[in-house]
Amino acid sequence: MSINILRLAALLYAAGAAAYVLFFARPRHRRAATVGFTLVAIGFAVHAASIGLACREFGGTEFFNLRGGFGMLGWIAAGTFLLLQRILPLPAVGAFVMPLVLMSVIPGVFGLGPETRGAIPSIVRLPSLKVHVATATGGVALFAIAFGVALMYLLQEREVKGKNFGALFSRLPSLDALDRLNQRLVRIGFAVFSVGLVTGALVAKNAWGSFWMWDPQQIAFFVVWLLYGGMVQLRHVGVHGRRYALLTLAGFALVLGSMLALGAVPNLTRHGGSFQ
């Protein structure tokens, strides 16, 4: 049941992404952006329903594999994007972020839920784990949007610096707006991710008996946290613009790489793919 609703949500996201891309290609069609926003908003609600149903079906274990994790990531990213459009309306961002959201939802469309059905591990019921999962995915979602924005910054900078005032030049927002947005996303993402780090340690203490186990997942998490923390600090020293955008790209590449590596290699970490 939940998977069919998820498929519907994916369709809505796809339509929303298409509308935003259309708006980007033809900025005269302002309505395309409005339609995109509505589609993504409906998709977000449908996705929420699917997540709620999946929780009933699988009892929470569905989030602890790559597909479920990415699905959750997409949901939070879509929500963050919608919120962002309310605060700082830059519909061009949609053309860059919505395809990312769609990509993160797609794996779940082919199969939802844990690979093996077993008893629900008791640690899933820990409140600190719930906070950990929510904040870790939330942080990654914010980093994902920052990635999209940084990409836009680099594209626009190439246009502005290269004195090439073509199609992208008129469609992309101003460098300053993109830079500030990127900075804000990194800062908020880092704060949310920090909560994830602390709660993650608490979960480790509860489940494994120690805060720090040199588990690959923990190491990856910590390195990412350090990197983004460094970026927040660098901002105060005046690093911005192109360098900051490049750092944002590198940071997210690290996040994505470690998520894929940890999810793809079985038994590399005690957490993630299986809890048995």
Comparing CA positions, the residue from 145, 23, 141 lying closest to residue 71 is 141
CA distance 132 to 192: 10
Q: Which is nearer to other proteins, 28 or 117 (CB)?
A: 28
Q: Is 235 in the site for other proteins (CB under 8 A)?
A: no
Comparing CA positions, the residue from 256, 195, 204 lying closest to residue 225 is 195
Q: Is 87 in the site for other proteins (CB under 8 A)?
A: no
Q: Is 212 in the site for other proteins (CB under 8 A)?
A: no
CA atoms within 13 A on the CB side of 213: 19
Number of other residues whose CB lies within 10 A of the CB of residue 70? 22
Among 205, 241, 256, 274, binds other proteins (CB under 8 A): 241
Token pair of 266, please? 């079985």
Among 45, 161, 233, 265, binds other proteins (CB under 8 A): 161
User: Which 3-state string (H, E, C) describes 230-276?
Assistant: HHHHHHHCCCCHHHHHHHHHHHHHHHHHHHHHHHHCCCCCCCCCCCC
Among 89, 167, 243, 261, binds other proteins (CB under 8 A): 243
Smallest distance from the beta carbon of 247 to other proteins, in angstroms?
Answer: 14
Binding part of the chain for other proteins, among 16-24, 105-113, 118-126, 234-242 by CB under 8 A, reads 234-242
Number of other residues whose CB lies within 10 A of the CB of residue 72? 25
Smallest distance from the beta carbon of 165 to other proteins, in angstroms?
Answer: 6
Q: Which is nearer to other proteins, 59 or 241 (CB)?
A: 241
Among 107, 173, 216, 229, binds other proteins (CB under 8 A): 173
Q: Which is nearer to other proteins, 4 or 174 (CB)?
A: 174
Contact residues toward other proteins (CB under 8 A) are 28, 156, 159-161, 163, 165, 169-170, 172-177, 237-243
